[in-house]
Each structure stands twice: as structure tokens, then as C-alpha cells.
């Protein structure tokens, strides 16, 4: 573990290679799983606010799900998550050519239709998951077989997980925190190697 301020960071962020390979996985992380993406109460409220902006990008099944059950729900573990369609697809998942899935929220953000919300933090940081405890926050790598192509591409390109997630980690915890993490990862790798 690396301790960066009040956060305990898994060594996986330094040791693992990672670079999303959407041509191979087609955005499977937005489709697979037994629950929606974890969201905060504030994000839930934001999703309700931006819904009219992304509504036309959503699938008919997603629109029905939202109309019947809302943008989020409490899952079996008691966590607030985005609503899902047919037991798997996030309601904000859209599809493009060749079955490639993408996030309607991020699409709207990139097109300038939304300016202050890119997507839920859990999605932006994926494959890292954040768990808050009373005295610290844990930053862990969520290993999932569907990300094997990302691990292979990351190794091929020489991109470590902490480097791949520079932008979202900086957005979530601040540039100073990220710079401290990068220095700690580099020192660890220099001492312990690959």
C-alpha cells in the first residue's frame, strides 16, 4: 500500500499496466455486471437534472426504465447505483457502429451540451474503485476479466494504471495529490522494478 495524504492506494496502481482497448472490449464495463454504476446522492440529483439533455440519446428501453424507476436505485448491497436495463446495461449506455457502447452523459459533455458534469466519478475512475472509511479512503484496482485487453494494451504501450488515470485521479483528488501519487509510484517502481 502507498499512503498519499489520507488515502491508502493499492500498489496495483503502480504495478499494473492498463490502457482501455475499446476496439476489443466495445465498452463492456458499461454493459456487464449485476448492478449499475455506483453514484453519490449528489450525482443522483445531477443525473435527474441533466436527463432532459441526454434523453434523446438513450435507448427506448432505457427511457422506459427511467420513467418507471428513475435514474438510480439502491442495490442489494445497499449502495446507490445507476438504473440498469434488462439486468445489465446502464440506462445511460448508448450504442454506435459495430456495437460499440458509449456513455450518453460523456457524449453530451464532449459535445458541449453539458459543461459541468462529465459522468459519475465511479465511471470516470474505472477500473479504480474508491471506498470511504471513517479514518481513510481506499483507492483500489477492480480487476475484471473483461479488462484483459486493456491490461495487454497497457503492457504493450508501457502505460501504468496510475498514468492511465492521471486526468480522472487529478479531477477527483486534486493535482497536488496526483503529483504525490506519481512520485510515490515512480519511487516504488525504481526500488522494486517490474
Q: Which residues contact 59 (CB under 8 A, 6 or more apart)?
A: 85, 89, 93, 94, 95
The three-state secondary structure class of 81 is strand
pLDDT reported for residue 42 = 95
Residue 158 pLDDT level (bands cut at 50, 70, 90): very high
Residue closest to 106 by CA, chosen among 188, 17, 30:
30
Q: pLDDT tens, 52-101?
A: 999 999 999 999 999 999 999 998 888 899 999 988 889 999 887 777 78
pLDDT of residue 33: 66
- pLDDT tens-digit readout, 25-49: 666 666 676 678 899 999 999 999 9
Q: Are 131 and 38 in contact (CB under 8 A)?
A: no
Band (13; pLDDT cuts 50, 70, 90): very high
14: which 3 cell numbers? 503502480
> CA–CA separation, 186 vs 193, rounded Å?
10
Amino acid at each position: 500500500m502507498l499512503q498519499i495524504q489520507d488515502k491508502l492506494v493499492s500498489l496495483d496502481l503502480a504495478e499494473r499496466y492498463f490502457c482501455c482497448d475499446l476496439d476489443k472490449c466495445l465498452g463492456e464495463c458499461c454493459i456487464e455486471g449485476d448492478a449499475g454504476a455506483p453514484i453519490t446522492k449528489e450525482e443522483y440529483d445531477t443525473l435527474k437534472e441533466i436527463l432532459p439533455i441526454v434523453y434523446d440519446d438513450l435507448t427506448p428501453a432505457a427511457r422506459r426504465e427511467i420513467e418507471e424507476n428513475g435514474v438510480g436505485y439502491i442495490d442489494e448491497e445497499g449502495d446507490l447505483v445507476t438504473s440498469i436495463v434488462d439486468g445489465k446495461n446502464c440506462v445511460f449506455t448508448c450504442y454506435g457502429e459495430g456495437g460499440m457502447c458509449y456513455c450518453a452523459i460523456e457524449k453530451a459533455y464532449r459535445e458541449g451540451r453539458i459543461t459541468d458534469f462529465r459522468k459519475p466519478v465511479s465511471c470516470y475512475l474505472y477500473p479504480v474503485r474508491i471506498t470511504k472509511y471513517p479514518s481513510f479512503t481506499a483507492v483500489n484496482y477492480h480487476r475484471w476479466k473483461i479488462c484483459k485487453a486493456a491490461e495487454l494494451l497497457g503492457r504493450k504501450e508501457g502505460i501504468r494504471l496510475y498514468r492511465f488515470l492521471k486526468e480522472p485521479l487529478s479531477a477527483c483528488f486534486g493535482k497536488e495529490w496526483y503529483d504525490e501519487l506519481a512520485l510515490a509510484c515512480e519511487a516504488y517502481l525504481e526500488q522494486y522494478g517490474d
